[in-house]
Amino acid sequence: SGYFDIGMLYWSLGGATLLLQMKYNAVYALVPPMTSLAIGVFYSMIFQKSLTGIPGITGPPLMQRLLILATSIVLLMNMIYCEVKKTFVAQAEYWYVSAGMIVIPQAV
């Protein structure tokens, strides 16, 4: 299970790098990877099993879970605010990468 968690981390870093290469601002490039990490971490916490199905694995320690949650919420709120104010308008490619970043690890 630990290897899968490390794989999720590298998946997130790869997604951030991809969005940075697509010339998105670093703040917006971190939203999909952090959301992907948060979903994986909270799956483990809620269902009391690892992402690979091993029972009793609840993910990282509580403070790390809270830090991931807080960072994800702040980044999402910032992106929504900027979308509403029209200072950041995401292209379709951004949403495709975002969906892939979140859905693919959960499907595996």
Distance CA 45, CA 41 (A): 6
Quickly tell me which residue has 């308008």 as its tokens.
Answer: 89
Look at residue 20 in the predicted model and tell me its pLDDT: 93
Mean pLDDT of the chain: 85
Closest to 56 measured CA to CA, from 64, 48, 44, 66: 48
pTM for the whole structure: 0.77
Look at residue 89 in the predicted model and tell me its pLDDT: 78
Look at residue 1 in the predicted model and tell me its pLDDT: 53
Quick: pLDDT tens for 12-29: 899 999 999 999 888 889
Look at residue 22 in the predicted model and tell me its pLDDT: 92
Mean pLDDT across 78-96: 87
